[in-house]
Amino acid sequence: MERFGEGSKKRKRRDSGIKPGRNKQPRLEVVAVEPSLSLLPDNVVLKIMSFLDVPSMMSLARINRRFYLLHSDEYIWSDVDLSTVPKLDVQRMKKFIREKLHPALWRLTLRSNAIECQRRPKMRPIITGAALDELFKKCPNIQTITLDNVDLSQLPPECLLWSSSRMERITFSRCVAPFKWLEKAKPHWPNLKHLYLPYTTKTSDHDLQYLASLRASVHPPAPTLIHLSLTNCYRIGKAGIQSICDSFPNLVMLDVSDCSGLTPECLLLIAEHMIKLKELNISNSVAMDSLESADTLLSKLRANCTHLQQLTLSPGQLYFHDDRCSEINMVRLNQLRFKVVFV
């Protein structure tokens, strides 16, 4: 006996000309694949590796042969930060320079232990003149270098760091240096455009005057500095600011924050001569001694520094001694065409 409705289904299939089981589509099985770097093309992996620090990249190179070959690509070693490498000493530094660094390197960050060596005389410095000589012989195309916590007195005048003609950006951060260290080093940087000396506290007026004389002695004239940072260089005074104004009128960024040796006359010199400034940081440097001097500074900045985009101050620096002065200065600050930032 046929079940109820079964004969009608067969007749419908026979009338339509469709054979049973022939029009069924195959089932698609979805297989879950775990995400893996191994599935990505080489150019994507190289881009990812460029964001890793050196220890992470070295760990990635131990996974398989493909990652080991990729981590030797010059694209990876064009910008290197060795300040993140733990337990780095003199011997490991030289070995790393010989075996890992690529001649295509153009930006490098190094960190030494100069402050620790002063506290512990038996400790050896990580960065030495011999290590830097080996570095610049292998990588002569370095254009940007950052040295943190380095003893500059251990770098003799014949060190290749001081004579690298391709150098465009140099940062000496928290470096231990002797007095008149620039004159003792006798640097030759004809293409230098960016110089940052934060917390290199032995920098004085004499160093800035010597830096200005270097530019005057180069023929043809070298490209002038456009960025200069002197954060916490408290030995700088009016003579150093005057030499900067005379020799580097094309400065675009000047940072003299925490320079306690400055006077209100120094700030007025900056406002009068550095007409191409776009960023000026004078926070925690000097407080204007009267409402009139603060008004004079703002007026000169507004009239002369027509390209100025940002002025960084500290609270109370423009003679905010009472409510009346605060109200007057806030009104004048709001009338300026550049941005004022308080830190």
pLDDT at 15 over 80: no
DSSP 83-123: GG-TT--HHHHHHHHHHT--TT--EEEEE--HHHHHH-TTS
- What CATH architecture applies to the domain 39-73? Up-down Bundle (1.20)
Q: Span 118-146, mean pLDDT?
A: 89
Tokens coding 293: 């001097």
Q: Provide the residue ranges of all domains of the chain, joining segments of one domain with +.
A: 39-73, 79-342
Q: Is 203 left (phi over 0), alpha (psi -120 to 50) or beta?
A: beta
Positive or negative torsion for Cα 224, 207, 262, 254: positive
Residue among 4, 24, 8, 25 nearest 16 (CA): 8
> What pLDDT score does 217 carry?
64
pLDDT at 283 over 50: yes
Positive or negative torsion for Cα 57, 58, 61, 62: negative
Confidence grade of residue 324 (pLDDT, cut at 50, 70, 90): very low
For the stretch 214-272, pLDDT in tens is: 876 665 555 588 999 999 999 999 999 999 999 888 899 999 999 988 988 999 999 99
CATH 3.10.20.600 correct for 79-342: no
How far apart, in Å, are the Cα atoms of 33 and each of 39, 64, 241, 283? 10, 20, 64, 55
pLDDT at 178 over 80: yes
> What pLDDT score does 300 carry?
87
pLDDT at 33 over 80: no
How many whole angstroms separate alpha carbon 52 and alpha carbon 80?
10
How many whole angstroms separate alpha carbon 57 and alpha carbon 51?
9
Confidence grade of residue 89 (pLDDT, cut at 50, 70, 90): confident
State the pTM of this model: 0.81
For the stretch 193-222, pLDDT in tens is: 999 999 998 999 999 999 888 876 665 555
Q: Is 206 left (phi over 0), alpha (psi -120 to 50) or beta?
A: alpha
